[in-house]
């Protein structure tokens, strides 16, 4: 799972600024997932993407959050006009194939702090 | 929606002792994953179970999925300080859909020397 690379590892933003979190999946993986871990809460699914396509965004907040996984380059989770409640650990994961029964490997996470 | 209940929420065990962590689902499990997370770090994949009655082991950690596929247990034998961390169980969407895993809230394991 060391192959899923996330950056930055730690990010501090003032309220109202934008946060961009990047994720490079494991080599050969074309399925990417973003999760959020809030203090005192569990890990919550946000969005599932394949190259250039959003497959499932049922866990994404309706406003200010967006995700992409372009043909070239890393997947990006973008949070606009951040608020204090956005402070959390954001984890990216990847798998070789989609659907059930495929091992999902996680990155080290990006810790966002909004001040 | 599926919910996973982990017990206990936290556990303090003396080094060398055995321990068990449980994960119970509100629905039939079609794929159950165990991960370990160290504080401030990412999740490390431990094992995946799919079949009722299935049991897998890795070093001193054994995980089982019960026959009815609604509960899984993680057992650590002769615990060591390196086993300390948060253990998370995650489950596939029972509808076989494309979304991600549903996770329990985790079990915090502390190993006392």
What are B56-95's pLDDT values in tens digits? 998 899 999 998 889 999 999 999 999 999 999 999 876 6
Kind of pairing between the strands at B55-58 and A10-13? unpaired
CB contact at 8 A, A77 and A86: no
Residues of B in contact with A105 (CB under 8 A): 45
CA angle B92, A94, A49 (to 5 degrees): 85
Distance, in Å, from the CA atom of B110 to the CA atom of A57, rounded to the nearest integer, reads: 35
Which residue of A59, A99, A111 is in closest CB contact with B96?
A99
Range among A44-53, A55-64, B73-82, B88-97 with highest mean pLDDT value: B73-82
Q: Tell me, what's the pLDDT at A100? A: 73
Residues of B in contact with A111 (CB under 8 A): 40
> Which region among A72-76, A90-94, B93-97 has the lowest average model confidence (pLDDT)?
B93-97
**Among A38, A42, A91, A110, which would you mutate to test the B interface (most chain B Cβ atoms within 10 Å of its Cβ)?**
A42
Residue A100's SS3 state is coil
Q: 10 Å Cβ neighbour count for A78?
A: 14
Q: Is B45 exposed, middle or buried (0-12, 13-18, 19+ CB in 10 A)?
A: middle
Indicate if the pLDDT at residue A1 is higher than 50.
no
- Looking at every residue in chain A, the average pLDDT score rounds to 93
The reply to whether residue A48 touches residue B99, judged by beta carbons under 8 angstroms, is yes
């Amino acid at each position: 799972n060391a192959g899923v690379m996330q950056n930055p590892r730690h990010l501090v933003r003032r309220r109202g600024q934008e946060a961009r979190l990047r994720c490079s999946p494991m080599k050969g993986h074309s399925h990417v997932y973003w999760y959020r871990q809030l203090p005192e809460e569990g890990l919550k699914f946000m969005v599932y993407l394949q190259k250039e396509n959003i497959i499932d965004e049922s866990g994404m907040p309706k406003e200010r959050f967006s995700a992409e996984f372009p043909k070239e380059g890393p997947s990006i989770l973008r949070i606009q006009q951040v608020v204090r409640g956005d402070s959390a650990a954001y984890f990216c994961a990847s798998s070789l194939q989609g659907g059930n029964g495929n091992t999902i490997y996680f990155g080290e996470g990006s810790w966002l702090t909004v001040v | 929606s599926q919910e996973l209940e982990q017990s206990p929420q936290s556990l303090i065990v003396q080094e060398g002792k055995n321990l068990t962590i449980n994960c119970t689902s509100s629905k039939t499990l079609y794929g159950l994953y165990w991960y370990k997370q160290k504080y401030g770090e990412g999740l490390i994949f431990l094992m995946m179970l799919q079949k009722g009655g299935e049991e897998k082991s890795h070093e001193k950690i054994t995980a089982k999925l019960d026959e009815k596929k609604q509960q899984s247990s993680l057992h650590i034998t002769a615990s060591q300080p390196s086993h300390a961390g948060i253990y998370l169980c995650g489950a596939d969407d029972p509808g076989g859909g494309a979304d991600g895993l549903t996770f329990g809230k985790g079990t915090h394991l502390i190993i006392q020397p």
